[in-house]
Amino acid sequence: MMSVARSDAEFEHLFEAIFERYHYDFRRYAEASLRRRVASALVHFGCASVPALEERVLRDPRTFTELLRFLTVQVSDLFRDPPYFRALREEVVPVLRTYPSPKVWVAGCATGEEAYSLAILFAEEGLLERTQIYATDIHPESLRSAQAGVYALDRFARFSENYLQAGGRASLSQYYTAEYSSAVLDRSLKKAILFADHSLATDSVFAEMQLVSCRNVLIYFERSLQDRALGVISDALCRKGFLGLGLKETLRFSTHASEFREFVPDARIYQRL
C-alpha cells in the first residue's frame, strides 16, 4: 500500500500535470489521505509507479475520469449524523422560515445523499416549495448519479433509522419508490435541487446563501486550501446565514474563525456574523 510516492517530487508532479491538463486542482489537498488514494489507484490501474500513472492519465482522459473517482468520491448516507439534521430542523429552520425564498448550498455533495436529506427535511417543514437547494461537486460522475437519485435499496434500513433519529415526521418510504434492488427518490425532491459543477479549490461565489452545508469535505484540504474554501463559503453567506460542518470539524484553526459564531456547537453549526 505504502510503497507509493516515496518521492515527493513524483507526487507533486502528478498533480501539477493534472492541473495543467485538466484544470482539477489537487495540489493543496491534505496529503496523507491523498497518498493512500493514489496508492489504491496504482493498484487499480496496474501502474508500477506514480510517473507511470501520470503518463497514462495525461494520455487518456477516460483514465483521468476514473482516477477522479479515487481522488474524490465519498460515500455518505441519507441523514448521516442524525443530531446534525435534528439541530437544523429545530434551530435553523425556524430562522430560515423568515426568508421569502431561502437558498441552501451543499458544497461537495458527492452522490447527493446530503442534498436529498435536506430536501426531505425542508419538505416536512413546509419550506421546500420556496427553497432553492444548490448541490455542487467536482466529480461529473458523482453529479450524474446524484441527479438520478437512485440508491441501493439495502441501504435504506440504515437511512430510515437515521431519518427517525433526525426527527423525521413521517416514514422515509414516503419519499422513494422501490424498483427491484433500487430505491428511486421522489421527483418532487429532485425538482428542488440544482446539481452543478463547482470547485471550492478554484471557483468562487455564485449566489447568496442562507445555509451552507459542507460536511466532511474540508477535512480533505490542507489548511491554506481550507481557508480559501471557507473564504468562498463565508462570502456566499448572508449576514446571519448558517454554516454546517462535519461533527469532527472546527473553524478554530481557520483564518475565518472570527467571521462566525457558534450557533449549535455540538452539531457544528455556525452562524455568519
Residues in contact with another protein by the rule CB under 8 A: 1-2, 30-33, 35-37, 74-75, 216, 218-220, 222-223, 226, 246, 248-250, 252-253
Cα pseudo-dihedral 104, 73, 59, 52, rounded to 10:
140
What's the min distance (Å) between Cβ of 69 and another protein? 12
Please report which helix (H) or strand (E) contains residue 223, including its range: helix 223-236
Taking the least distance from each CB to another protein, the nearer of 44 and 223 is 223
Taking the least distance from each CB to another protein, the nearer of 103 and 268 is 268
Cα 202 to Cα 198: distance, rounded to the nearest angstrom: 8
Taking the least distance from each CB to another protein, the nearer of 129 and 266 is 266
Cα pseudo-dihedral 161, 166, 170, 174, rounded to 10:
-60
Nearest to 250 by CA among 224, 221, 219, 225: 219
What's the min distance (Å) between Cβ of 161 and another protein? 11
Taking the least distance from each CB to another protein, the nearer of 161 and 186 is 161
Counting every residue written for the chain, the total comes to: 273
C-alpha cell, 269: 453549526
What's the min distance (Å) between Cβ of 201 and another protein? 16
What's the min distance (Å) between Cβ of 67 and another protein? 16
Please report which helix (H) or strand (E) contains residue 12, including its range: helix 8-22
Taking the least distance from each CB to another protein, the nearer of 33 and 173 is 33
What's the min distance (Å) between Cβ of 31 and another protein? 6
Cα 18 to Cα 53: distance, rounded to the nearest angstrom: 11
Which SS3 state, helix, strand or coil, does residue 233 take?
helix
